[in-house]
Amino acid sequence: MRIKNFTDVKSLLLNNKTIKQTIFKNIFWLVVAESLSKFLKLILIIYVARILGAREYGKFTFALAFVTLFAIFSDLGIFSVTIREFSQDKEREKKFPSVLSLKILLSLGTLFLILIGSFFITPDPLIRRIIWILGIYVILSSFSGIIFAFFQARQKMEYEAWARIFEVLIITLAGFFVILNFPSIKNLSYSYLFASLAVLFFILIFFHFKVYRLRLSWKKSLWKNYLAMSWPLALAGVFSTIYASTDSIMMGYWGQVTQTGWYNAAYKIIGVTLIPAALISASFFPALSLAFRKEKERFQKIWDYQMEMVIFLTIPLVVGGITLAPKIIGFIYNPSYFPSILAFQILIVVAGISFFCNPFSQILVVANQQRKAFWIALFGAIINVILNIILIPKYSLYGAAIATVITFLLIFFLFFKFTIRLTSIKPLNIRFISSFIGVCLASSLMYFVVSQPQIYQLNVFFSILTGTGVYLVCFLGYKKLVNQFLNFS
């Protein structure tokens, strides 16, 4: 699509024209929303960690991790099933009122579980109250998710992006006001709650008048049908949340509150690095669902395109993260957070493995093989809990990080195995191998340049920009040579 004027730009970013253009448009809006969201939240958390200290920050992250552990019960896999079903057949949107009413019941039930669970997880009344506040925040945010599922099914991610930008702006402004004037984790929790309330209110108003008129329908037969499809994803989500959050909960439960603060300080940065994986998955999922039903050849091409993007981003991210970890932690936090450096270097490997896991887990859902995703997640949760019990008492936050690496490696192996066995996807093709070789060569050269003292000692931003520039030049040069060779052949 050629861009000649503002109308063309508007059409490119707001209308669905072709598959590639729609994917580009969706990735663009999700990148803008997610980048801004992660960046502003990271800035806020940096100030929270500095002003309140590792111990108070550890209490906040412990409460948030506990609440997140329950959040999956407010969805039970309905989000992914709704996207898949609505994207494959627009007539199924008529079922949305029943899906919405099911979401309300699940949200209320989850909030009740959080309130009850808070009395068993901690004797500290302050942490318990933080759990209550953050519990309502997470449930409200999760309820917004069912609206976002509708947007994603229509491949109109710009609506979701605007809502998320609005939410993070409110959280950031309210959070900074609280932390600078009334610094406490309790007041910080209230700022999160206020933001989720405001965003949900405006989302419902916009959705009702501009997209789809809201109403409720209490069709138990439809609930049964959707839950029958979604329960494997629900339980997979529960187990995924366990191996994502159980380390922080265990450290907090065993009294390692300061270590929890160090660990989550590293994890917050890792969360930023995971932005591309989430955006790529969200943008490709509706297109893959549609192609799976209608065009098998295009299905493979779309998946290959997704994997090329994943490879292109993942390997330099891991190499650069490990190399620059001391500078990144030193720049973002104060010296009291230096124990986070090694944890960050281990966890950046987890981020890389997670990047590769996403396309494989996603393709199982598209192919209606979500039960396999459930068994993989169950296996991962069991292994992770066992490893955490063994490693955290002895190695604290580093043991938790190592347990997570081992868990994700095993999970990736299983996803890869089931994808080959149960779908038509051929992961190891010439296109994949060629891209992988090029990315590895470019990343190696990037590491060599960035590790040189004159580059490494620069400001961390200049080191990152230099490494990125070297990587891009090397990779693009490699691609040009490969294309010339293929054309010559």
Q: Is the pLDDT of residue 319 over 90?
A: yes
391 within some domain: yes
405 Rama class: left (phi>0) / alpha (psi -120 to 50) / beta? alpha
Number of domains in the chain: 2
**Poorest-pLDDT segment among 314-318, 325-329, 419-423, 424-428:** 424-428
**Poorest-pLDDT segment among 230-244, 249-263, 450-464:** 230-244
**Poorest-pLDDT segment among 6-10, 180-184, 322-326, 386-390:** 6-10
Measured CA to CA, the distance from residue 468 to residue 274 in angstroms comes to 17
Task: Estimate the crossing angle of helix 296-332 against helix 460-488, to 10 degrees.
Answer: 150
Neighbouring C-beta atoms of residue 488, cutoff 10 Å: 6
Task: Please state the separation of Cα 485 from the chain's center in Å.
Answer: 38
8 within some domain: no
Among residues 427, 448, 468, the one where a domain terminates is 427
Q: Is the pLDDT of residue 32 over 60?
A: yes
Say yes or no: 378 and 447 in one domain: no
Say yes or no: 402 and 439 in one domain: no
Dihedral sign, Cα of residue 129, residue 135, residue 136, residue 137: positive
Q: Are 308 and 431 in contact (CB under 8 A)?
A: yes
Instruction: Band the pLDDT of 241: cuts 50, 70, 90.
Output: low
37 within some domain: yes
Say yes or no: 243 and 373 in one domain: yes
**Which domain does 456 fall in, by range?**
428-489
Q: Is the pLDDT of residue 488 over 60?
A: no
**Poorest-pLDDT segment among 16-25, 73-82, 118-127:** 16-25
446 within some domain: yes
Q: Are 274 and 399 in contact (CB under 8 A)?
A: no
**Poorest-pLDDT segment among 264-268, 342-346, 406-410:** 264-268
Q: Are 358 and 411 in contact (CB under 8 A)?
A: no
Any idea what DSSP says for residue 209? I
The residue written with tokens 């209606």 in the block is: 368
Say yes or no: 390 and 444 in one domain: no
Tens of pLDDT, residue by residue over 396-422, are: 889 988 998 999 999 999 988 888 888
Q: Is the pLDDT of residue 346 over 80?
A: yes
pLDDT score, position 244: 67
7 within some domain: no
Higher confidence at residue 37 or residue 438?
438
- Neighbouring residues of 333: CB distance < 8 A, sequence distance ≥ 6: 46, 49, 50, 265, 340
The residue written with tokens 């090694």 in the block is: 342
Any idea what DSSP says for residue 16? -
Higher confidence at residue 54 or residue 163?
163
Q: Is the pLDDT of residue 138 over 90?
A: no
Higher confidence at residue 79 or residue 241?
79
The most confident of 5-14, 115-124, 468-477, by mean pLDDT: 468-477
Neighbouring C-beta atoms of residue 203, cutoff 10 Å: 23
Instruction: Band the pLDDT of 329: cuts 50, 70, 90.
Output: confident
Cα angle at 207 between 42 and 142, to 5 degrees? 45
pLDDT score, position 194: 85
4 within some domain: no
Nearest to 316 by CA among 100, 163, 129, 475: 475
Cα angle at 376 between 316 and 314, to 5 degrees? 5
Say yes or no: 116 and 196 in one domain: yes
Say yes or no: 328 and 439 in one domain: no
Higher confidence at residue 54 or residue 416?
416
The most distant pair of C-alpha atoms in the chain lies apart, rounded to whole Å, by: 72
Say yes or no: 321 and 432 in one domain: no
Say yes or no: 308 and 435 in one domain: no
Measured CA to CA, the distance from residue 206 to residue 383 in angstroms comes to 44
Say yes or no: 34 and 168 in one domain: yes
Among residues 406, 427, 448, the one where a domain terminates is 427
Among residues 386, 402, 427, the one where a domain terminates is 427
Task: Estimate the crossing angle of helix 340-366 against helix 275-294, to 10 degrees.
Answer: 10
5 within some domain: no
Say yes or no: 314 and 418 in one domain: yes
Say yes or no: 112 and 232 in one domain: yes
Predicted TM-score (pTM) of this structure: 0.65
CB burial string 141-169: b at 16+ within 10 A, e below = bbbbbbbbbbbbbbbbbbbbbbbbbbbbe
6 within some domain: no
pLDDT score, position 466: 92
Tokens linked to 351: 């981020």
DSSP string, 34-102: HHHHHHHHHHHHHHHHHHHHHHHHHHHHHHHHHHHHHHGGGTTTHHHHHHHHHHH-GGGGGGHHHHHHH
Give percent of the chain above pLDDT 90: 9
- Mean pLDDT of the 127-143 span: 86
Say yes or no: 390 and 482 in one domain: no
CB burial string 462-477: b at 16+ within 10 A, e below = ebbebbeebbeebbee
